[in-house]
Amino acid sequence: MKLVRYGEKGFERPGVIDSVGNIRSLASIVADFDPATLGSLSAALSSWSTDNLPTCPAGTRLGAPLSKPGKIICIGLNYKAHAVEAGMAIPTEPVIFLKAPSSLSGPYDPVILPANSSKCDWEVELGVVIGRPTKKIPASAALDHILGYCVVNDVSERSFQLERGGQWTKGKSADTFCPIGPYIVTRDEIVDPQALQLRCEVSGRIAQDSNTSDMIFSVAEAISYLSSFMSLEPGDLICTGTPQGVGHGSKPPIYLKDGDVMVLSIEGLGEQRQLALAERE
Protein backbone atom coordinates (compact mmCIF):
# COMPACT_ATOMS: atom_id res chain seq x y z
CA MET A 1 0.00 0.00 0.00
CA LYS A 2 1.20 3.52 -0.84
CA LEU A 3 0.33 6.06 1.85
CA VAL A 4 0.26 9.78 1.01
CA ARG A 5 -0.75 13.12 2.47
CA TYR A 6 -2.40 15.50 0.03
CA GLY A 7 -3.59 19.09 -0.06
CA GLU A 8 -2.29 22.59 0.56
CA LYS A 9 0.84 22.96 2.66
CA GLY A 10 -0.04 22.89 6.33
CA PHE A 11 -3.51 21.44 5.65
CA GLU A 12 -2.66 17.98 4.27
CA ARG A 13 -5.01 15.05 4.70
CA PRO A 14 -4.19 11.32 4.68
CA GLY A 15 -4.71 9.27 1.55
CA VAL A 16 -3.66 6.21 -0.39
CA ILE A 17 -2.69 5.59 -4.01
CA ASP A 18 -5.08 3.10 -5.63
CA SER A 19 -4.23 0.44 -8.23
CA VAL A 20 -4.50 2.88 -11.16
CA GLY A 21 -2.59 5.74 -9.54
CA ASN A 22 -5.43 7.87 -8.18
CA ILE A 23 -5.26 9.50 -4.76
CA ARG A 24 -8.04 8.16 -2.52
CA SER A 25 -8.88 10.13 0.61
CA LEU A 26 -8.58 8.35 3.96
CA ALA A 27 -9.78 11.37 5.93
CA SER A 28 -12.94 9.52 7.00
CA ILE A 29 -10.87 6.63 8.40
CA VAL A 30 -7.78 8.15 10.01
CA ALA A 31 -7.02 11.69 11.20
CA ASP A 32 -3.45 11.85 9.86
CA PHE A 33 -0.25 9.86 9.45
CA ASP A 34 1.49 11.03 12.61
CA PRO A 35 2.86 9.52 15.84
CA ALA A 36 -0.61 9.56 17.41
CA THR A 37 -2.12 7.34 14.70
CA LEU A 38 0.74 5.26 13.31
CA GLY A 39 1.01 3.00 16.34
CA SER A 40 -2.29 1.33 15.51
CA LEU A 41 -2.08 1.78 11.75
CA SER A 42 -0.06 -1.32 10.86
CA ALA A 43 -2.72 -3.69 12.15
CA ALA A 44 -5.53 -1.75 10.48
CA LEU A 45 -4.09 -1.52 6.96
CA SER A 46 -5.18 -4.96 5.85
CA SER A 47 -8.79 -4.28 6.82
CA TRP A 48 -9.14 -1.08 4.80
CA SER A 49 -11.23 -1.15 1.65
CA THR A 50 -10.24 1.83 -0.47
CA ASP A 51 -12.15 1.19 -3.72
CA ASN A 52 -15.15 3.28 -2.66
CA LEU A 53 -13.25 6.13 -1.02
CA PRO A 54 -13.40 9.63 -2.57
CA THR A 55 -10.92 10.31 -5.37
CA CYS A 56 -8.87 13.50 -5.34
CA PRO A 57 -8.71 15.63 -8.50
CA ALA A 58 -5.78 15.15 -10.86
CA GLY A 59 -2.93 17.47 -10.00
CA THR A 60 -3.66 17.51 -6.27
CA ARG A 61 -0.50 18.45 -4.37
CA LEU A 62 1.30 15.72 -2.42
CA GLY A 63 2.89 16.79 0.84
CA ALA A 64 5.29 14.84 3.02
CA PRO A 65 3.57 11.47 3.66
CA LEU A 66 4.52 11.66 7.34
CA SER A 67 3.44 14.40 9.78
CA LYS A 68 5.33 15.63 12.86
CA PRO A 69 7.75 12.76 13.42
CA GLY A 70 9.12 12.69 16.94
CA LYS A 71 12.63 12.03 15.64
CA ILE A 72 14.49 12.11 12.33
CA ILE A 73 17.58 9.96 12.89
CA CYS A 74 20.29 9.71 10.24
CA ILE A 75 23.09 7.25 9.61
CA GLY A 76 26.25 8.86 8.23
CA LEU A 77 28.85 7.23 6.00
CA ASN A 78 26.76 4.08 5.62
CA TYR A 79 27.77 3.18 2.07
CA LYS A 80 31.24 1.77 1.44
CA ALA A 81 31.84 3.78 -1.74
CA HIS A 82 30.62 7.00 -0.11
CA ALA A 83 33.03 6.58 2.82
CA VAL A 84 35.83 6.14 0.27
CA GLU A 85 34.87 9.27 -1.70
CA ALA A 86 34.71 11.22 1.58
CA GLY A 87 38.24 10.07 2.40
CA MET A 88 37.12 8.56 5.69
CA ALA A 89 37.63 5.16 7.28
CA ILE A 90 34.85 2.58 7.04
CA PRO A 91 32.91 3.01 10.32
CA THR A 92 33.02 0.15 12.79
CA GLU A 93 29.77 1.38 14.38
CA PRO A 94 26.98 3.45 12.78
CA VAL A 95 27.61 7.21 12.69
CA ILE A 96 24.48 8.81 14.15
CA PHE A 97 23.16 12.36 13.92
CA LEU A 98 19.74 14.02 14.10
CA LYS A 99 17.87 16.16 11.60
CA ALA A 100 15.28 18.65 12.91
CA PRO A 101 11.67 17.55 12.23
CA SER A 102 10.98 21.12 11.03
CA SER A 103 13.14 20.34 7.96
CA LEU A 104 10.46 17.95 6.64
CA SER A 105 9.14 18.90 3.20
CA GLY A 106 6.97 17.54 0.40
CA PRO A 107 8.43 15.49 -2.48
CA TYR A 108 7.84 18.19 -5.09
CA ASP A 109 8.23 21.31 -2.95
CA PRO A 110 11.17 23.65 -3.62
CA VAL A 111 14.36 23.29 -1.60
CA ILE A 112 15.31 26.72 -0.28
CA LEU A 113 19.05 27.41 -0.19
CA PRO A 114 19.72 29.55 2.92
CA ALA A 115 20.91 33.09 2.19
CA ASN A 116 24.17 32.59 4.10
CA SER A 117 24.92 29.18 2.58
CA SER A 118 27.50 28.35 -0.08
CA LYS A 119 27.83 24.55 -0.19
CA CYS A 120 24.37 22.95 -0.35
CA ASP A 121 24.40 19.31 -1.41
CA TRP A 122 22.04 16.46 -2.31
CA GLU A 123 21.80 12.97 -0.75
CA VAL A 124 19.36 10.31 -1.95
CA GLU A 125 18.54 7.93 0.93
CA LEU A 126 16.27 5.06 1.84
CA GLY A 127 13.93 6.28 4.57
CA VAL A 128 12.43 3.89 7.14
CA VAL A 129 9.28 4.78 9.10
CA ILE A 130 8.89 2.99 12.42
CA GLY A 131 5.45 1.49 13.03
CA ARG A 132 5.76 -0.10 16.49
CA PRO A 133 7.45 0.86 19.76
CA THR A 134 10.99 -0.46 19.50
CA LYS A 135 13.57 -0.79 22.27
CA LYS A 136 16.60 -3.06 22.47
CA ILE A 137 15.35 -5.14 19.57
CA PRO A 138 17.62 -7.75 17.91
CA ALA A 139 18.38 -7.32 14.24
CA SER A 140 16.56 -10.57 13.52
CA ALA A 141 13.25 -8.97 14.59
CA ALA A 142 13.89 -5.36 13.56
CA LEU A 143 12.15 -5.38 10.18
CA ASP A 144 8.88 -6.38 11.86
CA HIS A 145 8.86 -2.97 13.57
CA ILE A 146 8.81 -1.03 10.27
CA LEU A 147 5.63 0.56 8.95
CA GLY A 148 7.11 1.32 5.55
CA TYR A 149 9.81 2.84 3.37
CA CYS A 150 10.19 6.09 1.44
CA VAL A 151 12.59 8.17 -0.64
CA VAL A 152 14.46 10.86 1.35
CA ASN A 153 16.63 13.73 0.15
CA ASP A 154 18.96 14.50 3.06
CA VAL A 155 19.83 17.98 1.82
CA SER A 156 23.01 19.21 3.52
CA GLU A 157 24.82 22.53 3.81
CA ARG A 158 28.43 21.38 3.97
CA SER A 159 29.93 24.63 5.27
CA PHE A 160 27.48 24.59 8.21
CA GLN A 161 28.06 20.86 8.71
CA LEU A 162 31.84 20.70 8.49
CA GLU A 163 33.30 24.17 8.93
CA ARG A 164 31.35 25.72 11.79
CA GLY A 165 32.38 23.43 14.66
CA GLY A 166 30.25 21.11 16.76
CA GLN A 167 27.91 18.45 15.41
CA TRP A 168 26.47 17.89 11.92
CA THR A 169 22.86 18.68 12.82
CA LYS A 170 23.02 22.40 11.99
CA GLY A 171 24.12 21.60 8.43
CA LYS A 172 21.18 19.23 7.97
CA SER A 173 18.20 21.00 9.49
CA ALA A 174 17.25 24.10 7.50
CA ASP A 175 13.59 24.37 6.51
CA THR A 176 12.89 22.23 3.37
CA PHE A 177 16.09 20.18 3.88
CA CYS A 178 14.24 16.85 4.26
CA PRO A 179 11.92 16.17 1.31
CA ILE A 180 10.31 12.74 1.68
CA GLY A 181 7.93 10.73 -0.48
CA PRO A 182 6.04 10.80 -2.77
CA TYR A 183 4.59 8.08 -0.53
CA ILE A 184 5.35 5.62 2.22
CA VAL A 185 5.30 2.11 0.77
CA THR A 186 4.25 -0.40 3.42
CA ARG A 187 6.88 -2.98 4.28
CA ASP A 188 4.91 -5.91 2.87
CA GLU A 189 5.60 -4.54 -0.64
CA ILE A 190 9.39 -4.44 -0.21
CA VAL A 191 10.78 -7.96 -0.20
CA ASP A 192 14.39 -7.01 0.55
CA PRO A 193 15.41 -3.47 1.60
CA GLN A 194 19.03 -4.41 0.88
CA ALA A 195 18.42 -4.91 -2.84
CA LEU A 196 17.01 -1.56 -4.00
CA GLN A 197 18.47 0.61 -6.73
CA LEU A 198 18.66 4.29 -5.83
CA ARG A 199 19.47 7.25 -8.04
CA CYS A 200 19.78 11.03 -8.01
CA GLU A 201 19.97 13.35 -11.02
CA VAL A 202 20.93 17.01 -10.69
CA SER A 203 19.89 19.25 -13.60
CA GLY A 204 19.98 16.29 -16.00
CA ARG A 205 23.31 14.85 -14.79
CA ILE A 206 23.33 11.46 -13.07
CA ALA A 207 25.02 12.20 -9.75
CA GLN A 208 24.22 9.06 -7.71
CA ASP A 209 23.44 5.58 -9.00
CA SER A 210 23.90 2.77 -6.52
CA ASN A 211 22.19 -0.02 -4.60
CA THR A 212 21.28 -0.49 -0.95
CA SER A 213 23.39 -3.67 -1.02
CA ASP A 214 26.41 -1.35 -0.59
CA MET A 215 25.27 -0.35 2.91
CA ILE A 216 27.79 -1.02 5.65
CA PHE A 217 25.05 -1.49 8.26
CA SER A 218 21.81 -2.99 6.99
CA VAL A 219 18.40 -1.53 7.77
CA ALA A 220 17.85 -4.25 10.39
CA GLU A 221 21.25 -3.66 11.97
CA ALA A 222 20.69 0.10 12.06
CA ILE A 223 17.31 -0.25 13.80
CA SER A 224 18.72 -2.70 16.33
CA TYR A 225 21.70 -0.43 17.03
CA LEU A 226 19.59 2.70 17.46
CA SER A 227 17.12 0.91 19.72
CA SER A 228 19.94 0.00 22.08
CA PHE A 229 20.50 3.71 22.81
CA MET A 230 16.98 5.16 22.57
CA SER A 231 13.37 4.12 22.24
CA LEU A 232 12.09 4.24 18.68
CA GLU A 233 8.46 5.24 18.43
CA PRO A 234 5.76 5.07 15.73
CA GLY A 235 6.36 7.82 13.20
CA ASP A 236 10.10 8.10 13.80
CA LEU A 237 11.98 8.43 10.51
CA ILE A 238 15.37 6.80 10.00
CA CYS A 239 17.46 8.00 7.05
CA THR A 240 19.81 5.13 6.31
CA GLY A 241 22.66 6.92 4.55
CA THR A 242 23.60 8.00 1.05
CA PRO A 243 25.77 6.35 -1.62
CA GLN A 244 28.68 7.87 -3.49
CA GLY A 245 28.11 10.78 -5.85
CA VAL A 246 27.36 13.69 -3.53
CA GLY A 247 28.51 17.09 -4.70
CA HIS A 248 31.00 17.52 -1.86
CA GLY A 249 32.80 14.36 -2.97
CA SER A 250 33.21 15.49 -6.58
CA LYS A 251 36.58 16.72 -7.82
CA PRO A 252 36.27 19.66 -7.83
CA PRO A 253 33.24 19.84 -5.51
CA ILE A 254 29.87 20.74 -7.06
CA TYR A 255 27.14 22.41 -5.02
CA LEU A 256 23.52 23.27 -5.63
CA LYS A 257 22.77 26.62 -7.19
CA ASP A 258 19.62 28.61 -7.75
CA GLY A 259 17.56 26.88 -10.47
CA ASP A 260 19.03 23.40 -10.17
CA VAL A 261 16.53 20.52 -10.33
CA MET A 262 17.01 17.35 -8.30
CA VAL A 263 15.22 14.13 -9.30
CA LEU A 264 15.57 11.27 -6.80
CA SER A 265 14.20 7.75 -7.02
CA ILE A 266 14.41 4.37 -5.30
CA GLU A 267 13.25 1.11 -6.84
CA GLY A 268 9.65 0.43 -5.78
CA LEU A 269 9.34 3.69 -3.83
CA GLY A 270 8.68 6.23 -6.56
CA GLU A 271 10.34 9.45 -7.61
CA GLN A 272 10.55 12.94 -6.13
CA ARG A 273 11.60 16.21 -7.77
CA GLN A 274 12.71 19.51 -6.24
CA LEU A 275 13.71 22.88 -7.65
CA ALA A 276 16.51 24.54 -5.69
CA LEU A 277 15.76 28.20 -5.02
CA ALA A 278 18.02 30.76 -3.38
CA GLU A 279 16.41 32.29 -0.31
CA ARG A 280 15.19 35.82 -0.90
CA GLU A 281 15.87 38.04 2.08
Q: What is the mean pLDDT of residues 179-195?
A: 97
Q: Using one digit for the tens of pLDDT, what is the confidence trace for 207-255?
A: 999 999 999 999 999 999 999 999 999 999 999 999 999 999 999 999 9
Strand bridging mode 205-211 / 72-76: unpaired
d(CA 246, CA 144): 31
Domains contained in the chain, CATH given: 66-278 (3.90.850.10)
CA distance 197 to 47: 31
d(CA 157, CA 228): 29
Looking at the DSSP assignment, which residues form a beta bridge with residue 215?
79
Q: What is the mean pLDDT of residues 103-116?
A: 97
Q: Looking at residue 40, what is its pLDDT? A: 82
Write the DSSP symbol of residue 137.
-
* 36-85 tens-digit pLDDT: 999 887 767 767 777 789 999 989 999 999 999 999 999 999 999 999 98
Interatomic CA distance for residues 269 and 280, integer angstroms: 33
Q: pLDDT per residue over 114-157, tens digit each?
A: 999 999 999 999 999 999 999 999 999 999 999 999 999 999 99
What pLDDT shows up at residue 39? 84
CB atoms within 10 A of CB 254: 18
Cα-only R_g, the chain: 18
* pLDDT for position 86: 86
User: How far is Cα 240 from Cα 222, in angstroms, rounded to an integer?
Assistant: 8
Question: How far apart are the C-alpha atoms of 189 and 201, rounded to whole Å?
Answer: 25
